[in-house]
Amino acid sequence: MKKKLYVPHPGHFDGLKELISEAGKDIYSIFMAGSPDYVGTGRSNLSSPQIEDIREQTEYAHKNGVAVEIVLNSSCMGGRHLTPEGFNLIHWYLEQLDSCGVDTIVVADPFLVEAVAKDFSMKPVVSVLSFVNSPEKAEFYYDLGASSIVVDPDVHRHFDVLHAIRDAVDCELKLLVNEGCLYQCPFRYAHFNFFSHAFGPQPRPNVLTDYYYERCILLRIKDPRLIINSPWIRPEDIHEYADVTNVFKIGGRTHYINWILNCVRAYTDERYDGNLMDLLDCPKDLKDLYYISNRDLDYAINHWKNCPTVCADCGFCRDLTEKAVRMYTGGGTESERLIEWSKIADETAVHA
């Protein structure tokens, strides 16, 4: 069955034109955020297209054979959607999106899954922020009317769970291939709730610093194994998921078009001969720290397909980290070079 790629779009019309002219034939659907004035999303907003922008872009995408998905996947709306005013406002916004011809709406709140399924012709997609990680949860959302479920990446390397989810529901399953977040991330709920408010409807909190992001980056600088055992799916490995789904979503709507096109090419060709960090949506800061040759990870999937994911008893990802992770030193200067991460202490002492 032909692979379907859902591709991130930052939200501006010029970006859409570039995506479609460069890679339209490989894109099944683009996805972008809506206006944060109604429902937030799980990411910061580079742009917030208004109704008429969305209408114009949807017409253009459809003319070029590309579907349009709008992401309204706030993980916390503070109960506002359950008030009469909040419900009316959100319902009005959904009506507008429906009238634009939008194909699918990504939502995280079960209430919105049901509301979209019941009242609109556009179809509800269950967000990755609904954390569907079991057949029971998948069934629950399917019964609410979900047409598609983005599976929690934490089970990407639990093939038994993926198969069980596949068997439990008749709707489409999507796999978010390049999120790059921590496996079993302890910050996940709090961080996305924070994003939902910081980039959602007013009033927005005046936050000094994103603690969750800073702590996440610190952990991965101290231990790059946390990048290796993050549940991304390499372009070369997506065929391993053929008996789960043929629908794959590339994360990254806060990136530049050039970055997005590089990912589209990699996942279309199912091959990437470069730094794995180039493909990961998060943590993008660390691509200037680590170089992980994607091809050095060939065949790791054979272990992960049968991985019991009790890391303390295993050591596979730790060994792989020592072999595959290299680190830039002298970055941005004439003496820039790569050193093995495992030898950092020796190397920096010699060259300091």
Distance between CA 254 and CA 337 in Å, rounded? 29
Nearer to other proteins, 117 or 327 (CB): 327
Sheet strands (E) in 151-267: 172-176, 247-249
Side-chain-side CA neighbours of residue 31 (13 Å): 25
Question: What tokens were used for 262?
Answer: 């590089």
In the complex, minimum distance from the CB of residue 284 to other proteins, in angstroms, rounded to a whole number: 11
Which of 168, 184, 185, 177 is CA-nearest to residue 134?
168
**Cα–Cα dist 260/263, whole Å:** 5
80-89 contacts, C-beta under 8 A, 24 or more apart: 80/201, 81/39, 81/109, 81/111, 81/112, 82/111, 89/38
| Residue 288 CB, nearest approach to other proteins (Å) | 8
Nearest to 175 by CA among 25, 46, 307, 3: 3
What angle (nearest 5°) sits at the alpha carbon of residue 352, between those of residues 345 and 331? 85
Residue 214 beta carbon to other proteins: minimum distance, rounded to whole angstroms: 5
Give min distance, CB of 186 to other proteins, in A. 14
AA letter at 94: L
Our CB check for other proteins shows the closer of 202 and 209 to be 209
For other proteins, which is the closer residue by CB, 48 or 293? 293
Residues paired with 175 in a beta bridge: 248
**What is the nearest approach in angstroms of other proteins to the Cβ of residue 332?**
5
C-alpha to C-alpha distance for 197 and 214, rounded to whole angstroms: 18
Q: Tally the residues of the chain.
A: 352
**Nearest CB to other proteins, comparing residues 202 and 206:** 206
Kindly state the helix (H) or strand (E) to which residue 105 belongs, with its residue range.
Answer: strand 104-107
Running DSSP on this structure, what letter comes out for residue 170? Answer: S
The least CB distance from residue 155 to other proteins, in Å, is 29
Residues interacting with other proteins, by CB under 8 A?
208-209, 211, 214-215, 217-218, 221-222, 224, 285-286, 288-289, 327, 329-333, 335-336, 341, 344-345, 348-349, 351-352
With respect to other proteins, which residue has the nearer C-beta, 267 or 341? Answer: 341
Phi and psi torsions of 280, nearest 5°: -80, 130
Nearer Cβ to other proteins, position 224 or 251? 224
* Residue whose CB is less far from other proteins, 177 or 320: 320
Q: How far is the CB of 300 from other proteins (least distance, A)?
A: 22
